[in-house]
Amino acid sequence: MGEVAEMTMAPEMVRQLAGASVSVELETPDMTLNIGPQHPSTHGVLRLVAKVDGERAFDVQPVIGYMHRGYEKLSEVRTYPQITALINRIDWVSGYANEIPFIVAAERLMGVEPPERAQFIRLILTEMARISSHLVFQASYPLELGAATPLFFALRDRERVLDLIEAVTGGRFHPNFNRIGGVKPAVGAGPTTRKTIQDLPSGFLSETRSAMDRVLSTVDELEDLVAGNEIVMARTKGIGILPPEVAMAYGVSGPNLRASGVPFDLRRVSDYLPYDRFDFEIPTGESGDCWDRWWVRLEEIRQSAAIVRQAVDSIPSGPLQAKVPRIIKVPAGEIYVRAENPKGEMGYYVVSDGGLGPYRLKIRSASFSNISILPWILEGTLVPDIIAIMGSLDFVLGDVDR
């Protein structure tokens, strides 16, 4: 290396540095992406804060609490019959189903067995709530993936089901229909002093049969419409895979768990309602992706419709109410009763001291545990897949926040 070399070094270095500056990755700050709390795909008011690197999202933190109404605290100053009005509003898409485990918990602490007919009515309405909830999912999920048509099919038949629920209970969303020891006398059926002779509205059973037929044909239509769609398949197959062991550790339950291949359904193993008298299958998925979660819910509508038809055909006659005191006092004790709700395991841990209301009520809601999986399942996913995965988990923020 002589003088000449040194002299030519400077422009060479400049060239090298210029080249180097292009090849070295630029140090850029992480971009933070906020989704929600008012984004339509969040089913209420959920906010996601994600760090985004190009098209991939990392370190996704859900921010919840916008719907927190403090039901566990409020329950401590309510009587048992008053609490059903609160818990209707936990998962409002299936308000009726929320009441069941709480009422059963109170009944078991009291040692009250509701009459068979009341249990059948509870079961029929619970399955209708499941159909209605899953139809909302069948309406909203394709919409989130960009398909608007299934919404009209699904919501049309959801109305038929809600009409039937309303005909019995007087409410579409918040029936507040269960009583400790049975169910409320049917709406418009006369004064409450004659409650033993009042019952389901006339024509209910035949209307229900034809509504279930319609629901089944709509499910077929939805399957034709969605299942063969290339875009839906591309957006959901292999996306958002949830392995069963992860689902269990997070407490993910219901259709989300079954889509991961775990054939667990509380209707099979628990006796909160007389499900053991009916034939139905438990659909499960294979890979636990968004597609499986969609398919399991579609198939569950068919199974629920089958249960409703069997129950309508075999409903026994008899009273709607067991004998209970006019003022409900629940004996001291603790109990946990859980039920297979449309969104998953819904349970109530009731601590009674023998008073008019519980000393403590812990509400275990399905959506809370189901979306606690979001940071895990969204790690490293593409930004548009966030919407596909969130939608496939089918949560309701009222059920998350309580």
Q: Closest separation between CB of residue 364 and another protein, Å? A: 4
Q: Closest separation between CB of residue 110 and another protein, Å? A: 10
Which lies closer to another protein via its Cβ, residue 133 or residue 369? 369
Q: Closest separation between CB of residue 229 and another protein, Å? A: 32
Would residue 170 be called left, alpha or beta, if left means φ above 0 and alpha means ψ between -120 and 50 degrees?
A: left
- Show contacts of 241-245: CB within 8 Å, 24+ apart: 241/287, 241/288, 241/289, 242/288, 242/289, 242/373, 242/377, 243/288, 244/288
Q: Closest separation between CB of residue 303 and another protein, Å? A: 18
Q: Which two tokens stand for residue 233?
A: 């398949």
Which lies closer to another protein via its Cβ, residue 9 or residue 85? 85
For residue 117, which of 183, 175, 170 has the smallest C-alpha distance? 183
Q: Closest separation between CB of residue 30 and another protein, Å? A: 18
Which lies closer to another protein via its Cβ, residue 72 or residue 144? 72
Residues that bind another protein (CB under 8 A): 64-65, 68, 70, 72-74, 76-79, 81-82, 108-109, 191-193, 245-246, 248-253, 257, 262, 264, 266, 268-270, 326-327, 332-338, 345, 347, 349, 351-357, 359-360, 362, 364, 368-369, 372, 376, 401
For residue 47, which of 393, 392, 386, 380 has the smallest C-alpha distance? 386
Which lies closer to another protein via its Cβ, residue 128 or residue 373? 373
Which lies closer to another protein via its Cβ, residue 318 or residue 333? 333
Which lies closer to another protein via its Cβ, residue 117 or residue 267? 267
Q: Which two tokens stand for residue 155?
A: 């919501």
From residue 210, alpha-carbon distances to 6, 271, 297 in Å are 94, 28, 21
Which DSSP string corresponds to 86-140?
A: HHTTTSGGGHHHHHHHHHHHHHHHHT----HHHHHHHHHHHHHHHHHHHHHHHHH
Q: Closest separation between CB of residue 234 and another protein, Å? A: 30
